[in-house]
Amino acid sequence: MAARDRYSRKLECSQCGNTGFAEVSEIDDKRAENRDFRMDELPRGFFTEFASNDPRKYMIRCGECGHKFRFEQKTAYAPGGEPRR
């Protein structure tokens, strides 16, 4: 069984500027077809709009303004929180 890679990623709403850090994890096996992406903890003010095992398809909704956006987009990482690729 593969270990899980855990990291933090900054979420930022492009409409209202609401920000926070999400705690996520995925399988740490580059050969795996399915990364088994999981949202372990969302910051206050953000909600899951559409859950997916693929971070490119995981949709988040801002609780402040209702704007929807993908989890995996151009964004900043918490210090030391960059995932290994």
Residue 48: band (very low, low, confident or very high) from pLDDT cuts 50, 70, 90 = very high
Of 80, 85, 53, residue with least CA distance to 71: 53
CA dihedral angle for residue 19, residue 22, residue 28, residue 33, rounded to 10 degrees: -80
Mean pLDDT of all residues in 24-32: 81
3-state secondary structure of 3: coil
Residue 85: band (very low, low, confident or very high) from pLDDT cuts 50, 70, 90 = very low
d(C-alpha 59, C-alpha 48), whole Å: 6
- Of 22-26, 46-50, 69-73, which gets the smallest average pLDDT? 69-73
Residue 83 vs residue 40, higher pLDDT = 40
Q: What pLDDT, on the 0 to 100 scale, is given for residue 40?
A: 93
